[in-house]
Chains A and B, each alone.
Chain A
Amino acid sequence: MKRESIIEILLCTVSLFSLVSLMGIVLSIFGEAIPFFREVPFLDFITGKRWYPTSEPPCFGLLPLLAGSIVVTIGAMLVSLPIGLGTALYLSEFAKPGVREILKPFVELLAGIPSVIYGFFGMVILAPLVQKIFRVPVGLNAFTASLLLGVMTLPTIASIAEDALNSVPVTLREASLALGATKWETATRIVLPAAKSGILTSIVLGAGRAAGETMTVLMVAGGAAVIPRSIFQPVRPITATIAAEMGEVAMGSVHYHALFALAAVLFLSTLCFNILAERIKGREG
């Protein structure tokens, strides 16, 4: 065989490695989760309202953990969505080019701050502050976690949304302005709708990042596996449960496999976020 075609086949094989890794993740996570469902019926897992993995008999109910994940994800989006979009609009529509050139790399830089730093800041500084200001019994709760996750996902949303806004043709803006629309009207009624799919992608990816974030919620969300009645109660999102409990379980126990079942739930939900983002992107092209 010719050397050229050998190289091509080699490159193609190596390129499939990322797909193989993905399948490896799926197989290993789901493979380790299956023994759990031999012990605990699937329905009991997804409808169970209690997570007491070490009590006798143990309870493995998904709902309180899922509720924790959902609460902090929605909370994070309430913070990062308006502010992220506002930032993106400002950078692409209202800022002077020089300001944009400086701020944009800055936003990228901030996206790289490790999550353990946010968690640390939350524990030491934000949580005591929240406790004092809102007069709640514990500062480590869903509210504090949402706030931090919101700030964390800001750069993701702002950066992707800004790219989308920026790729809207200038001619659309000029036509709108020429018809007598103000800058704000042009931005909200012409540019924003034109960049709709990119903005939606940014929201979906931001929410996916918040839902999958581990260290921040592990350190700041409070860790109580109960369905919260208020935003100021401590919660225990899925990611935090896995990270907190995996260090203490006996390898091969039901609890060990239960944590893999949680990881499977987590993987499937982020997969949905990814597919949704792809769909939105695909519709545009």
Chain B
Amino acid sequence: MRKAVEIGGIAFCLISVLFALLSLFLILFFIFINGIKVISPSFLFDFPRKAMTEGGIFPAIVGTFLLSLGAVFFSLPLGVMTAVYLTEYATSRRIVKLIRIGINNLAGTPSVVFGLFGLAVFVKLLGFGVSVLSGSLTLGILILPVIIRASEEAIKSVPRELREASLALGATRWQTVKNVVLPSALPGILTGAILGVGRAAGETAPILFTAATFYTAHLPRSLFDEVMALPYHIYALMTEGTFPEKQVPIAFGTAVVLLLLVLGINSFAIWLRYRRRRAW
């Protein structure tokens, strides 16, 4: 009896792992085999034509790059400074607790709520309109917790001896942070920034009302232009337009591009992190 429970239990766990891996593999597999045949140089570098039923997705690729780089540009300095304060400076438990409440609840807030926040504050209140700027700022706040956590982890993993040596040589706290801690933590902070790009590139709900548009005839000319974006493009192709039989293949192709982009970015970040962990 004990033997049977033992075997059954472990078998259940093994089946769970297999189910998890298989279902995710199947999703990726189906998207790739349907999408890969759509992809060609002209698909990647052309503008959409004939009401999105032909042509490429170049503006959406550019838009996603702009939005996610914009988000990181905005949130990296804020995130790193927060992480430095939390790990190197903060002495008051109450302030740390307040900051943690902010970070943890931002991380748990649904992405569509960020979208409404961006709409109310950046689009309407500050008057940025539906634009690259509004979208980047919204995504920037969304990925702030990712950046802060990665930077904190990186800064914490810098050995204490390095700090002590620097302080013992007469350097001030800020000199130690600037010249010793941050340079050693840089690879880890970059990992966080890359994870942030990956996260921002895949988000749809926050840009629905703040940045994205179904179709533009030109690339954005300024930060105040609206843009196409890969995740929104998939959604729009599936729910708008009048020729679903022509739009679905384009959606498959767009999904492959988005997956390659996001999985590529994330595996680079994860690889960096594991390599670094082994180094210390």
Contact = CB atoms under 8 A, between A and B. Distances in A.
A138 interface: no
B124 to A, nearest CB: 7
A59 to B, nearest CB: 22
A15 B77 CA distance: 11
Nearest to B5: A184
A15 B86 contact: yes
Interface residues of A, number: 90
Nearest to B248: A124
Classify the secondary structure of B's interface with A.
helix
B104 A278 contact: yes
Interface in A140-176: 151, 154-155, 158
A103 interface: yes
Interface stretch (A41-49, A213-221, A224-232): A213-221
B136 interface: no
A274 B105 contact: yes
B117 A28 contact: yes
A87 B202 CA distance: 26
B270 A182 contact: no
A285 interface: no
Given A15-B81, A116-B204, A120-B255, A22 B116 contact: no
Interface in B9-33: 9-10, 12-17, 19-21, 23-24, 27-28, 30-31
Nearest to B103: A18
Contact of B109 (A7, A251, A260, A267): A267
A159 to B, nearest CB: 11
A178 interface: no
Interface string B191-202: 000010011011
A86 B8 CA distance: 12
Contacts of B231: 114, 116, 215
A236 to B, nearest CB: 13
A266 to B, nearest CB: 6
A242 B10 contact: no
A72 interface: no
A132 interface: no
Interface stretch (B48-56, B141-149, B158-166, B181-189): B141-149
Interface string B241-280: 0000000100110010011001100110011001000000
Interface in A9-57: 10-12, 14-22, 24-25, 28-29, 31-32
Interface string B225-251: 000000110110011000000001001
Contact of A182 (B6, B12, B30, B114): B6
Interface in A53-99: 82-87, 89-91, 93-95
B113 A188 contact: no
A259 to B, nearest CB: 7
Nearest to B92: A12
Nearest to B14: A90
B261 to A, nearest CB: 10
A242 B144 contact: no
Contacts of B274: 105
A21 B141 contact: yes
B221 interface: no
Contacts of A123: 238
B251 A120 contact: yes
A17 B198 contact: no
A12 B2 CA distance: 58
A273 to B, nearest CB: 7
B223 interface: no
B236 to A, nearest CB: 10
Contacts of A21: 102, 106, 141, 144
In the A-B complex, list the 7 residue pairs whose CB atoms are closest, starting with the nearest: A86-B16, A212-B110, A114-B202, A19-B102, A18-B102, A90-B13, A11-B85
Given A11-B81, A21-B106, A21-B141, 9 more contacts: A12-B89, A14-B82, A15-B90, A18-B144, A112-B262, A113-B24, A124-B34, A242-B115, A277-B108
6 contacts: A15-B81, A29-B120, A83-B16, A116-B204, A212-B108, A212-B113
